[in-house]
């Protein structure tokens, strides 16, 4: 054969070596084409529709970069913040995926069953992946026949870029299409999270009876929680002293029941956190412990670890005076946030009329809270408060309504008490052991610190990158942002910040303005707090060292925290699309706050219920010329003048609620500067017609040439007709 000719092989190798190749992540668009995003490149590379048929959104690939003739942009097209890579004049750079580095669908994925021409397909439960795959049923138990819409767990066995086509195998059924618990079960299984508490033993003997504990049962500790809370892990008591306050924070003591390296301890370590989802939770510990034996129930004797924190009258925490004691306590009352706030703020005793001693404790806690809040606002930096949105479910599990819970005085009491206790713990562990589970925040990202300096300078706040890398400089910038009449500067500075992380060594927490911060106040819910309990006991009881935290455990906890938040967001999105679906036809008007500007448009949050929506740039205004979506500075610009900033509000209505991709698309009902509104009815009708034509095509390649026409996604195509939201969420 000619290819066996050494000279030809050498020539082919030379051609390959001369090709420009880039490794990056595939990002799909709603219109069939895509982009290759390359790390550290400020440009993205266009992937034509034909090449996109062999890859999935999120795939990491190596692509060949070529130059192609650039087609002129449509007149009046809005300009995005990102720029595509340009070649020579009149040409643009284009990417052709050549080899797969890492598939977007990892070891296994969750999807829905769809039958196409009698063959079983799977529709991945991923709003950015539109392909369907033929699948082979490899379940161990096939006694239950799979039906259209059932939820299954699959494994991708073939990838089109590597194998010429996509194909999957079914590992197990997750739940049927009519199961009301689907949002919770699917969200958890998609992220490999547990769907139930750990198995419960019949008995949990207390293991620390030989340790001496102080009797604090005469002190009127109180818990303050939501009405439905059962896992109450903190109780508060306070005394005034000559120079301020002595705050007693009593925390449940699960490590008294759970031996280190026991089966239950290992299970708790693997879970790392309790999972809190709308309407339900999955505890880290068996409910017999979390909701009973360890819960600080009113009137019941409980072992506790008590921290005594010295707070001066000006709000300073004297951390060197911190004491930790093993004790027995008895809660004097299970108090409810709203009832306590009604009593303190309005004198309302309808639902809560405390005894004289509990009233005295609450009065002193309020005074301490105001002192600490003033100190953090004027010396450190506090955060703007946002309401919590509580999901109230029906008995069937559907979202009945959403209650807006503002941050009231009872919430502030608990927040300031827990922050104070954790600051004290951070310094205690740093001083005595130089290890523990610390929460750290390093302030502004080094990639954006010069941007922060420049932005602050635009507001006549003079600083330097060196100053912003100190806690005092960071806090000064945050206080200045909080003093502004709008939230724009605060929102922009948040975009420049690093994410917080857990560490096993003492590190500053810039956002709180402290040198050390270690949580120990939720050991029922956080494994890191259990570790810190054991370390504190080691110091105060002079015990043998417990197992010290290591990087592997730290990684487990950081990953668990991130995936738990993803699960909560997933369930919320699922419930929101059901809850808001009728508002499309009702044309309900909402107030939405702008919180991000992305390549495809705007991301906003509805103030009435907390739902996230997306407004594609095509649905923003009837005018496309001279309109720019400035991602870098979080603005919308019209004729070179900013007309909309992060933190601004818009009146909007919903035009598409997609139950397949669980995305919500909106459009303004009024715009600043008399900008004309888009003709939504005409745009939506045109998109519905396009989706219908795509669904009728005999071979739309949605399953990449497997011969099944891909009609399984016809419903998805129709529902997604306006769903540029997928592009918005993918690029957020």
Secondary structure letter of residue 633 according to DSSP: T
Q: CA 6 from chain center: how many Å?
A: 55
297 is catalytic: no
Cα–Cα nearest to 101, from 144, 159, 153, 45: 159
DSSP 450-469: HHHHHHHHHTT----HHHHT
Domain ranges of the chain: 18-102, 109-179, 214-441+508-571, 449-498, 581-730
- The pLDDT of residue 20 is 87
Q: How many residues does the chain have?
A: 732
**59, 125, 150, 231: which one is catalytic?**
231
For residue 585, which phi and psi values (nearest 5 degrees)?
A: -70, -30
Are both 109-179 and 581-730 of the same fold?
A: yes
Q: Do the Cβ atoms of 591 and 651 come closer than 8 Å?
A: yes
In angstroms, rounded to a whole number, what is the distance separating the alpha carbons of residues 293 and 312?
A: 35
Measured in degrees and rounded to the nearest 5, phi and psi for residue 340 equal: -65, -45
Q: What is the pLDDT of residue 682?
A: 87
pTM, entire model = 0.86
**Phi and psi angles of residue 604, each rounded to the nearest 5 degrees, phi first:** -135, 165
C-alpha to C-alpha distances, 99 to 59, 312, 631, nearest whole angstrom: 10, 63, 31
Kindly state the DSSP code that residue 513 receives in the 8-state scheme.
T
Q: Could you write out the three-class secondary structure of 61-89?
A: EEEEEEEEECCCCCCCCCECCCEECECCC
- By CB atoms closer than 10 A (0-12, 13-18, 19+), residue 7 is exposed
DSSP state of 234: E
Catalytic residue among 167, 525, 599, 702: 525
Q: Which of 45, 204, 237, 337 is catalytic?
A: 337
Tokens 């703020």, residue located:
345
Looking at 59, 125, 150, 233, which residue is catalytic?
Answer: 233
Q: What is the pLDDT of residue 72?
A: 56
Catalytic residue among 59, 225, 364, 658: 225
Residue 231: active-site member: yes
CATH number for the segment(s) 18-102: 2.40.50.140
Which stretches does DSSP call E strand in 128-233?
133-137, 151-158, 167-175, 214-215, 223-225
Q: What is the pLDDT, as a whole number, of residue 138?
A: 94
DSSP track, 3-54 = GG-HHHHHHHHHHHHHSEEEEEEEEE-TTS-EEEE-TT-SEEEEE-HHHHTT
Please indicate whether residue 233 is annotated as part of the active site. Answer: yes
pLDDT number for residue 9: 62
Q: Which CATH architecture has domain 581-730?
A: Beta Barrel (2.40)
* Interatomic CA distance for residues 714 and 724, integer angstroms: 17
Any idea which architecture 109-179 has in CATH? Beta Barrel (2.40)
Nearest C-alpha neighbor of 616 from the set 491, 487, 730: 730
| Average pLDDT for runs of 10 along the chain of length 732 | 57 62 90 87 86 94 84 48 52 88 90 93 88 92 93 95 94 92 93 92 88 97 94 97 98 96 95 94 95 96 98 98 98 96 96 96 98 96 87 84 92 98 98 96 96 98 98 97 96 96 96 97 97 96 81 93 96 94 96 94 97 95 90 94 96 94 95 90 83 61 44 40 43 36
Residue 281: Cβ within 10 Å count: 18
Question: How far is residue 419 from each of residues 241, 247, 433, 467, measured CA to CA in Å?
Answer: 20, 12, 21, 25
* Residue of 59, 125, 234, 583 marked catalytic: 234
Q: How many angstroms separate the first and last alpha carbons of the chain?
A: 51
- Please report the pLDDT score of residue 631 as a whole number: 94
Run of H or E including 492: helix 488-495
């Amino acid at each position: 054969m000619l290819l066996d000719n050494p000279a030809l092989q050498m020539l082919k190798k030379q051609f390959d070596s001369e090709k420009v190749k880039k490794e990056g992540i595939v990002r799909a668009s709603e219109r069939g084409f895509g982009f290759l995003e390359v790390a550290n490149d400020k440009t993205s590379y266009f992937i034509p529709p034909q090449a996109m048929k062999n890859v999935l959104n999120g795939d990491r690939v190596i692509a060949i970069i070529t130059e192609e003739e650039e087609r002129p942009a449509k007149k009046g097209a809005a300009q995005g913040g990102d720029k595509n890579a340009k070649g020579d004049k009149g040409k643009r750079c284009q990417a052709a995926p050549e080899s797969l580095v890492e598939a977007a669908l990892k070891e296994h994925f969750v999807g829905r069953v769809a039958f196409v021409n009698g063959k079983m397909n799977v529709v991945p439960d991923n709003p950015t992946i539109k392909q369907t795959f033929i699948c082979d049923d490899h379940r161990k138990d096939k006694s239950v026949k799979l039906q259209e819409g059932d939820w299954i767990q699959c494994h991708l066995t073939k990838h089109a870029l590597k194998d010429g086509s996509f194909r999957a195998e079914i590992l197990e059924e997750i739940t049927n299409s009519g199961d009301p618990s689907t949002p919770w079960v699917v969200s958890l299984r998609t992220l490999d999270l547990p769907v139930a508490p750990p198995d419960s033993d019949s008995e949990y003997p207390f293991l620390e009876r030989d340790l001496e504990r102080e009797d604090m049962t005469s002190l009127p500790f109180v818990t303050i929680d939501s009405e439905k809370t059962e896992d109450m892990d903190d109780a508060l008591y306070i005394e005034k002293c000559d120079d301020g306050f002595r705050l007693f924070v009593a925390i449940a003591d699960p490590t008294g029941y759970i031996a280190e390296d026991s089966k239950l301890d290992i299970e708790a370590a693997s879970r790392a956190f309790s999972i809190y989802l709308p309407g339900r939770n999955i505890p880290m510990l068996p409910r017999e412990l979390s909701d009973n034996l360890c819960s600080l129930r009113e009137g019941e004797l409980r072992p506790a670890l008590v921290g005594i924190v010295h707070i001066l009258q000006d709000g300073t925490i004297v951390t060197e005076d911190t004491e930790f004691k093993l004790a027995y306590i008895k809660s004097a009352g299970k108090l409810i946030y709203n009832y306590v706030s009604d009593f303190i703020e309005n004198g309302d005793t309808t639902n809560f009329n405390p005894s004289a001693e509990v009233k005295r404790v609450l009065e002193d806690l309020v005074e301490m809270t105001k002192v600490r809040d003033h100190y953090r606002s004027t010396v450190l930096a506090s955060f703007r408060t946002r309401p919590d949105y509580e999901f109230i479910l029906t008995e069937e599990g559907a979202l009945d309504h959403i209650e807006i819970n503002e941050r009231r005085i009872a919430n502030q009491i608990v927040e300031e008490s827990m922050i104070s206790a954790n600051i004290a713990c951070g310094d205690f562990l740093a001083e005595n052991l130089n290890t523990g589970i610390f929460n750290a925040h390093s302030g502004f990202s080094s990639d954006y610190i010069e941007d922060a300096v420049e932005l602050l300078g635009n507001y006549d706040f003079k600083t330097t990158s060196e100053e912003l890398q100190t806690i005092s400089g960071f806090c000064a910038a945050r206080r200045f942002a909080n003093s502004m009449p709008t939230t724009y500067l605060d929102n922009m500075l948040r975009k420049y910040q690093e994410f917080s992380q857990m560490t096993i060594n003492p590190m500053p927490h810039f956002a709180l303005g402290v040198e050390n911060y270690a949580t120990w106040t939720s050991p029922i819910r956080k494994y890191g707090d259990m570790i810190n309990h054991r370390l504190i006991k080691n110091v105060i009881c002079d015990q043998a060292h417990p197992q010290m935290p290591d990087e592997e455990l730290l990684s487990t906890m950081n990953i668990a925290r991130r995936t738990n938040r993803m699960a909560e967001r997933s369930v919320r999105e699922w419930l929101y699309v059901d809850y808001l679906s009728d508002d499309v036809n009702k044309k309900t008007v909402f107030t939405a706050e702008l919180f991000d500007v992305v390549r495809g448009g705007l991301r906003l949050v509805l103030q009435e219920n907390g739902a996230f929506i997306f407004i594609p740039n095509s649905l923003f205004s009837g005018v496309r010329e001279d309109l720019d979506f400035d991602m870098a500075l979080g603005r919308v610009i019209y004729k070179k003048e900013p007309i909309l900033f992060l933190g601004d509000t818009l009146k909007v209505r919903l035009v598409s609620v997609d139950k397949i991709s669980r995305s919500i698309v909106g459009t303004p009902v009024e715009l600043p500067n008399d900008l004309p509104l888009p003709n939504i009815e005409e745009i939506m009708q045109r998109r519905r017609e396009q989706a219908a034509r795509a669904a009728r095509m005999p071979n739309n390649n949605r399953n990449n040439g497997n011969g099944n026409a891909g009609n399984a996604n016809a419903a998805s195509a129709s529902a997604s007709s306006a769903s540029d939201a997928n592009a918005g969420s993918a690029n957020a």
